[in-house]
């Protein structure tokens, strides 16, 4: 294969990897928005528990929102892992393509940060972001516990 063709494919593949990262960011924003909205509904229902319609069904509202929040967090966690695997695969291909080019910027960057092996040099963001759905599950778990006690 000739270098211009490889370079063109390389540029296209790097752009595709960047688009996956953008989709992941938008997906995270979506889940944060939905989960924040659920927590807002909970705050509203607690703040207005003196309303007759809410007082009669408050436990069922809390239970429904808590279960929905937990399900959304699990789905979000699975999405994050899927995006991480997809991007990892893309960067494996990028590294293979770089071997055919005169300079390998991603491979060099990876060398500089010690291939992610030293935690004080680099934390993989996808590993950090996977804790967000876990942390945001805590209020829903607490609510489930309170409703069932």
pLDDT in tens, 46-105: 666 554 544 557 778 888 899 999 999 999 999 999 999 999 899 999 999 999 888 888
Using only C-alpha atoms, what is the Rg of the chain? 22
Q: Distance between CA atoms of 55 and 26, rounded to whole angstroms?
A: 36
Q: Note whether 21 and 87 are within 8 A (CB).
A: yes
* All structural domains of the chain with their residue ranges: 3-148
**Residue 1 clears pLDDT 70, i.e. is over it:** no
Q: Note whether 91 and 106 are within 8 A (CB).
A: yes
pLDDT value for 138: 95
pTM for this entry: 0.82
Query: What is the mean pLDDT of the segment spanning 99-125?
Result: 77
The tokens for 25 are: 């960011």
Q: Distance between CA atoms of 128 and 15, rounded to whole angstroms?
A: 23
Q: Note whether 58 and 49 are within 8 A (CB).
A: yes
pLDDT value for 54: 47
- Quick one: which H or E segment has residue 10? helix 3-47
Q: Crossing angle for the helix pair 52-98 and 105-112, nearest 10 degrees?
A: 110
């Amino acid at each position: 294969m000739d270098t211009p063709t490889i370079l063109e494919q390389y540029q296209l593949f790097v752009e595709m990897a960047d688009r996956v990262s953008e989709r992941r960011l938008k997906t995270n924003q979506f889940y944060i928005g939905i989960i924040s909205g659920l927590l807002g509904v909970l705050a509203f229902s607690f703040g207005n528990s003196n309303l007759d319609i809410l007082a009669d069904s408050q436990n069922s509202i809390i239970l429904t929102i808590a279960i929905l929040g937990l399900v959304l967090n699990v789905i979000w966690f699975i999405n994050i892992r899927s995006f991480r695997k997809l991007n990892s695969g893309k960067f494996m291909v990028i590294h293979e393509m770089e071997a055919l080019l005169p300079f390998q910027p991603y491979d060099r960057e990876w060398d500089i940060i010690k291939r992610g092996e030293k935690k004080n040099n680099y934390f993989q963001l996808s590993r950090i972001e996977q804790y967000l759905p876990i942390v945001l599950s805590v209020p829903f778990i607490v609510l489930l516990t309170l409703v069932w006690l």
